[in-house]
A = this chain, B = another copy of it.
Amino acid sequence: MNARVLSGRPVAAAIQSQLSADIDELLRQGKKRQLLIVAATDDPSSASYVRTLQRFGGQTGVTVTVADLGPDASEIDIRTVLETASADENVHGIILQTPLPDGASISGLGSAIAVEKDVDGANPASLTRLLAGEACFAPATAAAVVELLDHYEVGLAGRPISVVGRSLVVGKPLLHLLLNRDATVTVAHSRTADLAAATGTAAVVVAAAGRAGLIRAAHVAQGSVVIDVGTNFDDAGALVGDVEAGSVGAVAAALSPVPGGVGAVTTALLFRNTVYGLPDPSGSPSLPAAAGAVL
C-alpha cells in the first residue's frame, strides 16, 4: 500500500481538543451542554455506540443523558420524549438511536426533533434546508466525510467527486454537502451499469454503498483520494469497509480506511453540533473552499 492513510483519529482529536477548551470556559460561566440519546432497542451495537458517546462526553465535559425506552416503546412514547427534549432549554442536542421498534420509522419520528437540536440530521426538514443551502445539521456521517477531506486539505470546489451509494443517511446528504461546496458530483449505486466509468476519473471517490470489496483498483484513478464509509462485517465478524484497501492503496494517493476513518469523526461532530449549535448557511467548512487542492 503506497497511499497515504487518512486517519480519522487526528481529525476527531482536533475537534475534541477545541471542544474541551470551549466547554471548560462554558462550565466556568455556569453553562452546561447536554446531548440526549433516545434509545428504544436492546440491540447490542446500539448499546456499544451509546457507550462510545458517553466516553466522548466524559472526556470533553458534555453531559450525555440516555433516555432508554426499551424495545417495546410505542411510537407515541418516543415522539413525546423527542418533543419534550426539543422544548427543554437544558438539552442542546438530540440523537434517536436505531433500530426502532416495529411500526416506528426514523423519518416519521425525526420530525419531532427540533431542527436546531437535530445534531444527526434526522429531521426531514434538516435535509430540506441542506438542499436549499440554509443553516442545518446534515447526517453526521455525511458531514464527517467533508470534515475529513477538509482536515487533509483535499480541494473540493470545481473538482469531480464520485459518491457510490444513494442512501438517505449518507449518499444523498453527502451529494448536497459536496454540491454546496462547489464540487462536480456523480452519484453511482447498485444499479449503475458501469461503475468504473462513474468513479474512474474522479479526483475523490467516496464509497458508501454497504458492500464489502465493492471498490477495487480498477475503479479509481491513479493519484485519487478514496474515502471508505462502508460498515460491513466479514465472516469472522470484523468490521470492513466497501474498499479493497490492498489493491486500491496501490493506485490511490490517499485512502481513509475502515475502521479508523470517518467513524471517529462522526462521533466528534455530534458533539461539536451539540456544543456550538447550527452552523452558518455556508456549512462553515473548517477551511475556505478556495484553499486549493493539496491532494
Contacts and interface: CB of A to CB of B under 8 A. Distances in A.
Interface of A: 107, 124-125, 127-128, 131-132, 157-160, 166, 168, 172, 175-176, 179, 182, 184-189, 191-194, 197-198, 201
Contacts of A125: 124, 128
B186 A166 contact: no
Nearest to A199: B184
A197 to B, nearest CB: 7
A244 B132 CA distance: 30
Contact of A131 (B127, B159, B194): B127
A145 to B, nearest CB: 17
Integer count of this chain's copies in the complex:
2
Contacts of A201: 197
A179 B171 CA distance: 11
16 contacts: A124-B128, A131-B131, A131-B168, A131-B172, A132-B168, A157-B191, A158-B191, A166-B179, A172-B179, A179-B187, A184-B189, A184-B191, A184-B193, A184-B194, A186-B186, A186-B187
A185 B186 contact: yes
Given A182-B191, A184-B192, A185-B186, 7 more contacts: A124-B128, A127-B128, A160-B198, A172-B176, A182-B189, A184-B188, A197-B201
A250 to B, nearest CB: 24
